[in-house]
């Protein structure tokens, strides 16, 4: 009889444990392959939000640093905003300490998309929400959403701008071109390149475009750490090795800093400035577009990305459902819900119109 009672009690205890675990787990979706984050219990208003940025080497990250501080505090949160100077261990430590300091949400733009799995999994185990910002978080299920401008679409705009610019400025083809990619650890960089090649590859195949160096693979074209100096060195040697008796007509560049490095190398080699694409609408490149030195950039306004991220943070805080994502991305482990914004091409033809109401760019147009 005593054994029967204790067996009965044990079964009841197991049932109670299972029920309470299920209730706890309702706060977020842990299902592999789940496309939408579920509503959770929320967390206290005024909680801490940690923002981990990869570096401050391009204008967009400096803007993100400033805007996250201001906007999070304006929304009543406590903000810890840090940048990792392109170093994976630094970023891992910063994220760990944000969690130790009570962050309820982490906003993360990784130095290396695939190197944060274990710190993010620890954060998730501590009940922290994780939002990828501008870049995908790879090989982990510890990510609730990613907010970014469409990365393949960005590359397609860059490739199309290069083609359009060549037709507009360099007469009839075939055109001599070179290809540059961004930092190989950044999950955006291969996507930008892939998008550009969607447009350029058919024109390479039909002979309209000639990549004189023959370097058409992302691994050959990539620029370690998005380092402008390294891009300039590569451009110097491409010109010295392949263009002593040839004109270079165009260069695919993954962002504005690298575009300016490429243009500088061409000027120093005595080349006429080629058609060069870009990204970020940095102030200096917008000025170069106005001056006719850089052909194009892609505008992906930081304030829109920060505002979208803030909306998601507020929904998580209130314990509400996130909206249906605009897309999902296979990050190697799960289908991550993506909230994608639309990037916009900028050339001399529309530059003034695009930035007409942007106070930060006003000085360029006066
Ligand atoms: C961002 C770009 C930036 C680059 C280098 C990319 O992930 O999307 O805006 O230029 O990183 O910082």
Asked if the model's pLDDT at residue 205 lies above 50, the reply is yes
Report the pLDDT value the prediction gives residue 140, as an integer from 0 to 100: 97
Report the pLDDT value the prediction gives residue 15, as an integer from 0 to 100: 41
Asked if the model's pLDDT at residue 352 lies above 90, the reply is yes
Q: Label the pairing between strands 335-341 and 327-330.
A: antiparallel
Residue 359 domain-assigned? yes
Ligand 1: atom nearest CA of 187 is 7
Same domain membership, residue 334 and residue 212: no
Report the pLDDT value the prediction gives residue 26, as an integer from 0 to 100: 33
The CA 200 to ligand 1 mean position distance, Å, reads 21
Same domain membership, residue 167 and residue 111: no
Ligand 1: atom nearest CA of 61 is 12
Q: Which of 226, 301, 303 should be mutated for ligand 1, with most atoms under 8 A from CB? A: 226
Report the pLDDT value the prediction gives residue 363, as an integer from 0 to 100: 87
Report the pLDDT value the prediction gives residue 362, as an integer from 0 to 100: 84
Residue 72 domain-assigned? yes
Same domain membership, residue 122 and residue 191: no
Residue 262 domain-assigned? yes
CATH number for the domain spanning 273: value is 3.40.50.2300
Ligand 1: atom nearest CA of 151 is 8
Residue 32 domain-assigned? no
Q: Which residue has the higher pLDDT, 232 or 34?
A: 232
Same domain membership, residue 127 and residue 160: no
Same domain membership, residue 354 and residue 215: yes
Q: Which residues line ligand 1 (CB under 6 A)?
A: 57-58, 60, 134-135, 182, 186, 188, 226, 255, 279-280
Query: Which backbone phi and psi does 50 adopt, to 5 degrees?
Result: -100, 135
- Local confidence band at 81 (pLDDT 50, 70, 90 cut-offs): very high
Asked if the model's pLDDT at residue 137 lies above 50, the reply is yes
Residue 41 domain-assigned? no
- Local confidence band at 366 (pLDDT 50, 70, 90 cut-offs): confident
89-117 mean pLDDT: 98
Same domain membership, residue 354 and residue 252: yes
292-319 mean pLDDT: 98
- Local confidence band at 3 (pLDDT 50, 70, 90 cut-offs): very low
Same domain membership, residue 252 and residue 164: yes
Asked if the model's pLDDT at residue 2 lies above 60, the reply is no
42-57 mean pLDDT: 97
Ligand 1: atom nearest CA of 57 is 12
Same domain membership, residue 184 and residue 107: no
The CA 81 to ligand 1 mean position distance, Å, reads 18
Residue 8 domain-assigned? no
**How many domains does one find in the chain?**
2
The CA 35 to ligand 1 mean position distance, Å, reads 25
The CA 189 to ligand 1 mean position distance, Å, reads 8
Write out 19-83 in H/E/C secondary structure. HHHHHHHCCCCCCCCCCCCCCCCCCCCCCEEEEEECCCCCHHHHHHHHHHHHHHHHCCCEEEEEE
Residue 111 domain-assigned? yes
302 and 60 in contact (C-beta within 8 Å)?
Answer: yes
Same domain membership, residue 166 and residue 207: yes
Asked if the model's pLDDT at residue 222 lies above 90, the reply is yes
The CA 114 to ligand 1 mean position distance, Å, reads 16
Same domain membership, residue 272 and residue 284: yes
* Residue closest by Cα to atom 10 of ligand 1: 255
Report the pLDDT value the prediction gives residue 6, as an integer from 0 to 100: 52
Range of the domain at 309: 48-143+301-341
284-291 mean pLDDT: 98
Whole-number Cα distances in Å, 234 to 137, 189, 251, 338, 351 = 29, 17, 12, 34, 29
């Amino acid at each position: 009889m005593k054994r029967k009672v204790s067996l009965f009690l044990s079964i009841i205890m197991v049932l109670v444990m299972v029920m309470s675990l299920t209730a706890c787990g309702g706060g977020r979706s842990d299902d592999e392959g789940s496309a939408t984050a579920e509503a959770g219990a929320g967390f206290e208003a005024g909680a801490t939000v940690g923002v981990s940025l990869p570096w401050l080497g391009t204008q967009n990250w400096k803007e993100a640093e400033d805007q996250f501080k201001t906007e999070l505090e304006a929304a009543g949160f406590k903000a810890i905003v840090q940048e990792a100077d392109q170093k994976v261990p630094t970023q891992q430590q910063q994220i760990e300490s944000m969690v130790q300091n009570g962050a309820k949400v982490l906003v993360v733009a990784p130095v290396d998309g695939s190197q944060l799995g274990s710190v993010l999994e620890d954060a998730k185990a501590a009940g922290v929400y994780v939002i990828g910002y501008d870049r995908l978080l790879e090989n982990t299920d510890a990510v609730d959403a990613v907010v970014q401008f469409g990365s393949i679409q960005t590359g397609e705009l860059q490739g199309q701008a290069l083609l359009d610019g060549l037709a507009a400025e360099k007469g009839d083809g075939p055109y001599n071109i070179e290809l540059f990619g961004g930092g190989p650890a950044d999950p955006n960089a291969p996507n930008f390149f892939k998008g550009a090649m969607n447009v350029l590859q058919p024109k390479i195949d039909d002979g309209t475009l000639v990549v004189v160096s023959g370097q058409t693979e992302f691994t050959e074209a990539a620029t370690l750490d998005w380092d402008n100096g390294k891009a300039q060195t590569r451009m110097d040697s491409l010109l010295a090795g392949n263009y002593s008796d040839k004109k270079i007509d165009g260069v695919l560049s993954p962002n504005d800093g690298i575009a300016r490095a490429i243009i500088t190398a061409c000027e120093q080699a005595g080349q006429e400035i080629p058609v060069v694409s870009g990204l970020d609408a940095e102030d200096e490149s917008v000025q170069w577009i106005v001056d006719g030195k850089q052909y194009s950039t892609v505008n992906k306004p930081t304030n829109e990305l920060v505002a979208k991220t803030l909306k998601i943070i507020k929904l998580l805080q209130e314990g509400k459902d996130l909206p249906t994502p605009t897309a999902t991305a296979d990050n190697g482990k799960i289908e991550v819900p993506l909230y994608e914004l639309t990037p916009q091409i900028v050339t001399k033809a529309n530059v003034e119109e695009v930035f007409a109401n942007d106070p930060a760019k006003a000085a360029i147009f006066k």
